Amino acid sequence: MGAIPVANGKQDTPHWGNSFTARVSQVVYAGGAIRSGIRMAELGKKMAELDVEKNRQEVRFLLTGYYLDLYKLGNQIEVVRQNIALTQKEIDQMKARREQGTVLQNDITRYEYQLQSLELTLTRLTDASTIINHQLVTTLHLPEQTVIVPDENELNTEINALSAIAVQDTWQQTATENNLGISQATIATNLAEQKVKQAKAESLPSVAVVAENHLFGPYTQDLIPKDCNVNLWFVGIGVKFNLGSLWKNKHHIRKARTEHRQSREVLALAREGVENAVEANYINLLTSYTEVKTQQKQVELANQNYSVVQNRYQNDLALLTDMVDASNMKLSAEMALVNARIGMLYNFYTLKYVTNTL
């Protein structure tokens, strides 16, 4: 046999290499954790939307209060102005009778004192109206010099429309469907339920489809590195299970169930609180409606009494004190009617605020 030739010299071998790994994993079963996570994200979004709507309802109710206060002050100002004009007319008539010697100066003085009192009341009401107007303008971010004038026709229309007040069961149903507090408590209960499912899912294994591809070049993993490319790939199923969850997760599940039970109790309390609030505000609305009807009758009677006393006084059949009393009664009745009308509107809008339909 011939001798085997041996090559002399050195053989070049690579001393470094590049590697590229691509790994894809898709979970196909996680004990319901994925579905619960998606559901919790959806519920969290709804909760945030309800927070925004709740803030919007609160701002609307605040603006409604300012607006009704402004309307109330405007009506009171108009009542006082009418009484000022009436008092001034009485003073002029009394001065004319004073020249005839049928009225004493003391009588005129008493009416002038009443006129000063009315003018002071007018100043106070005007200042209060300016303050409320500023608060309303500031809240609405309107120009500072803006003057808001309530639409009396619209408000009077709403007052007249309240003569057909919805029955209490209708308001209760509306509150159940629209109250944001109940909606938020319901979402919190659903969130707690999803947390229970997630806690249970941690006790179950997760299964995933796995695919990997490895590319080496040059190949330096062998005893003698080779200047070549090697591609390895595989597809399989991976199962992962945390043994520690067998001991630790029991506490998580117990805690999640306790929170779920508490959330149901909070939901029941929210429904009970809204039901009581609707009933109380509904009764207040009925009471204020009756009060408006009563005050309207009192204004009618006060005006009739004023006309009678004024006629008797002009014919020297009544004293000045009777005339002053009749004037004060007329003013008080008209102011009470204004307050009753605004009170009824306020109770109505409070009921809409409780049902979150404002």
Q: CB–CB of 207/239 below 8 Å?
A: yes
The DSSP-derived string for 264-312 is HHHHHHHHHHHHHHHHHHHHHHHHHHHHHHHHHHHHHHHHHHHHHHHHH
How far is 171 from 5, CA to CA, in rounded Å? 107
- Of 66-75, 118-127, 170-179, where does the model show the most confidence? 118-127
Q: Which one is the CATH code of 18-354: 3.40.50.300, 1.20.1600.10, 3.10.20.30, 2.40.30.10?
A: 1.20.1600.10
Q: One-letter amino acid identity for 122?
A: L
* pLDDT value of residue 102: 64
All structural domains of the chain with their residue ranges: 18-354
Confidence band, pLDDT 50/70/90 cuts, at residue 175: confident
pLDDT(124) > 90: yes
- Is pTM beyond 0.85 here? no
Which of 310, 314, 312 has the alpha carbon at shortest distance from 100?
314
Give the model confidence (pLDDT) of 218-234 as tens digits: 766 666 666 677 777 87
Across the strands, what pairs with 214?
21, 232
Q: CB–CB of 126/77 below 8 Å?
A: yes
